[in-house]
Structure 1
Amino acid sequence: MTHSDTSPAALVKTACIILARGGSKGVPRKNLRPVGGISLVGRSVLAGKSAQGVDHVVVSTDDEEIAREARRYGGDVLWRPEELAGDTASSEVGWLHAYHALKRKHPALNRLVFLQCTSPFTTGADIDGCLAEMAQKGADCALSVLPDHSFLWGYDAAGFGVGLNHNERTQRKRRQDLPPSFRESGAIYCVDAEAFARTGQRFCGTVALYPVDHPPVEIDTLADFDLCSMIANTGKQPMIGTARLSAVKALIMDFDGVHTDNKVIVDETGRESVVTSRGDGMGLSMLRTSGRYRLLILSKERNPVVLRRAEKLGIDVFHAVDDKVAALDTWLSENDLNWEDVLYVGNDVNDLGPIRKAGLSAGPSDSHPDVLRAIDWVLPHPGGNGALRSLCDSLLACKS
């Protein structure tokens, strides 16, 4: 289940702040545009919520639609004054405003995480890694960086080219022989809250670097959106870290709204039929053939179509189940598994019980709002339209 607790009573020591204003000159309404079926602000909220070291996630915005989107994915909202939301306002000004508002409500607050919506592939594991690096180094701040093996050039006083990290007058070195260098990924900045408040700068003292393995893209144009969407749709950059995917031993799925589009066709005799995705079926077939996972369909639905689809896929099935948690308690015990081994996929409120108990939970992008707020992983497609295929591709890529 997701980690961060946005309830007022929760003790908040580490807060994640996401700036998402409504105005955007380059790409209008940029923060609401989707990558892999999820808006940029939604992806940032989900990353913050899945970090084990983050207690609270807040979106600072001046836009009501962005506020609704943030709440949809389980983030808290802080209204940003107009004078702090213009094109010339720095990020630091917005972060300071959010920090002071949070500090009044949460006196124990001592660490801040700043996430940028324009980096859509940030994961909770990345955030935890950046926080851990800051703590391990005893640094005042930390940031996510990308290893850079480029030969960098600048100008000398006469206007001629000169090597910055190499000497152009000597034999060219191999890239691997250059001194280590990094560039900001633009995704994550972690700070000691007191040092940040004192200096007003994200680099508020000693700096720790945390290398990340992300596509080196910060979204600023429509072409960037197209590129990131293609990457997201491969399933090879899921919003869940590799360590959590690697722990999965059993995939348990609801049927309606997960295998299907949550619609039903009823003919004049009252007979019901549904539509499923061949792509989802292929993904599940590859997952089953891999032999690495136990697969189960668990449905409240009493229609025999659930049984027929499970038979077609070669997957175990329990249907007409009213108490899903009790049914899974029994099944897990019989198969020498526990809840921590489970990746549960559901889309509606009757799935919240197993979602909250499973080691990892997921749902299609069109899941009920209560489910979107509860799950760890929002899949990039709707139910019955590639959601399961993207999940299967991510699991297979992780194991390979």
Structure 2
Amino acid sequence: MNSEVISIEERAKRIKIAVFDVDGVLTNGGLMLGDDGLEYKIFHSQDGLGMKMLKNTGLRMAYITGRTSKLVLKRAENTGVDIIYQGIDDKLEALMDLVEKQGVSLDECLFMGDDVIDIPPMRRAGLAITVPHAMPLVKEYAHYTTERQAGFGAVREVCELLMKAQGTFDGQMAQYLK
């Protein structure tokens, strides 16, 4: 293993709260707007199962997103995410609020984003993750870029990375490998 991989693993071992942007991380970033004025998002089922397994390990999860959508609340309910910040212009301020309310340090937070609005919390989080299609400047501040694309298993990849680093992956997989 090279030192960067070890560094990522060490960072991942400390994480107590995984914080995800929504559009461009949990989705592919596309926004579908219907003639009826409704907004539609596509979420990946593999990401959802990964988040459920991660929650089963005791690790907390949160969404911090610039947009506001009832769909985000429904996805949070389905995946066990109980900390949600929507309509946020200053994501670092939201992360600082989350850290204070949850009684954790920034080093114990993972932040996953894809656009420049995500850079401030990524710079402060203990583990900053992005996706392959992220804006180039965002990639400069990420400790890790997923192999999977946003909206196509990138969040699942992160959930498994955390579980492996924290020694909970095998326990979560055991129910499927009977």
TM-score by length of 1: 0.40
Partner of 1:309: 75
Partner of 1:384: 151
Matched AA of 1:296: A
Whole-angstrom CA distance in 2 between matches of 1:306 and 1:125: 32
Partner of 2:17: 250
Partner of 2:64: 298
Whole-angstrom CA distance in 1 between matches of 2:120 and 2:8: 23
CA RMSD of aligned residues (A): 1.4
Matched AA of 1:313: T
Q: Report the structure, 1 or 2, having the larger helix content.
A: 2
Can you give the 5+ residue segments of structure 2 that lack an aligned partner in the other structure? 168-178
Q: Deviations over 1:22-58 (max 9, x none)?
A: xxxxxxxxxxxxxxxxxxxxxxxxxxxxxxxxxxxxx
Deviation of 1:295 (Å): 0.7
Partner of 2:4: 124
Matched AA of 1:306: V
Q: Deviations over 1:264-306 (max 9, x none)?
A: 2122112110111000000000000111x12101111122221
Q: Which of structures 1 and 2 has the larger relative contact order (alpha carbons within 8 angstroms, sep 6+)?
A: 2
2:132 matches 1:365: yes
Runs of 4+ in 1 over 6 A off after TM superposition: none
Matched AA of 2:124: K
Whole-angstrom CA distance in 2 between matches of 1:389 and 1:372: 19
Deviation of 1:335 (Å): 1.1
Whole-angstrom CA distance in 2 between matches of 1:125 and 1:309: 31
The 3-state SS of whatever aligns with 1:362 is strand
CA contact (8 A) 1:247 1:341 kept: yes
The 3-state SS of whatever aligns with 1:361 is strand
Partner of 2:98: 331
2:118 aligned to which of 345, 351, 372: 351
The 3-state SS of whatever aligns with 1:261 is coil
Partner of 1:259: 26
Whole-angstrom CA distance in 2 between matches of 1:397 and 1:331: 25
CA contact (8 A) 2:64 2:88 kept: yes
1:269 aligned to which of 36, 50, 53: 36
Deviation of 1:122 (Å): 3.0
Matched AA of 2:94: A
1:287 aligned to which of 26, 39, 54: 54
Matched AA of 1:311: E
Q: Report the structure, 1 or 2, having the larger strand content.
A: 1
Whole-angstrom CA distance in 1 between matches of 2:72 and 2:35: 21
Deviation of 1:359 (Å): 1.1
The 3-state SS of whatever aligns with 1:394 is helix
The 3-state SS of whatever aligns with 1:344 is strand
CA contact (8 A) 1:307 1:319 kept: no
The 3-state SS of whatever aligns with 1:297 is strand
Larger Rg: 1
Matched AA of 1:380: E
Aligned residues: 166
CA contact (8 A) 2:92 2:120 kept: yes
Whole-angstrom CA distance in 1 between matches of 2:56 and 2:85: 21
Whole-angstrom CA distance in 1 between matches of 2:8 and 2:136: 23
Deviation of 1:327 (Å): 1.6
Deviation of 1:336 (Å): 0.9
Deviation of 1:398 (Å): 1.7
Deviation of 1:256 (Å): 0.4
CA contact (8 A) 1:283 1:388 kept: yes
2:164 matches 1:397: yes
Deviation of 1:125 (Å): 5.8
Deviation of 1:255 (Å): 0.4
Q: What percent identity do the matched residue pairs reach?
A: 28
Matched AA of 2:50: G
Whole-angstrom CA distance in 2 between matches of 1:125 and 1:380: 14
Q: Deviations over 1:177-202 (max 9, x none)?
A: xxxxxxxxxxxxxxxxxxxxxxxxxx
Can you give the 5+ residue segments of structure 1 that lack an aligned partner in the other structure? 1-120, 127-239
The 3-state SS of whatever aligns with 1:307 is helix
